[in-house]
Amino acid sequence: MDMMGRDMTSRKPPPKVVSREIDENIRKIYQEVVEEELPDRFKDLLAKLRGQESGDGKN
């Protein structure tokens, strides 16, 4: 019951609707993360690691 004495259980959305909304929100967040540019410090680290793998002596 809410503060007005109303039964709130009848206002819950069906579980399928809630599940679908959760799925959509997770997909949106994931897509935003995937589209983010790789930070420069990671690019620098990857370049250093590639240099070590190729044996060019850069650190």
Which tokens is 44 given?
Answer: 């620098």
Note the pLDDT tens digit of each residue in 7-30: 666 677 778 999 999 999 999 999
Question: What local confidence, expressed as pLDDT, does residue 3 receive?
Answer: 72
Task: Take residue 39 and report the two structure tokens written for it.
Answer: 């930070």
pLDDT, residue 53, reads: 87
Q: Where are the alpha helices (DSSP H) in the chain?
A: 15-35, 40-54
pLDDT of amino acid 1: 63
Task: Find, among 23, 1, 22, 3, the residue nearest to 11 by Cα.
Answer: 1
pLDDT bin (cut points 50, 70, 90) of residue 34 is very high
pLDDT class of 49 with cuts at 50, 70, 90? very high
Contact between 25 and 19 (Cβ < 8 Å):
no
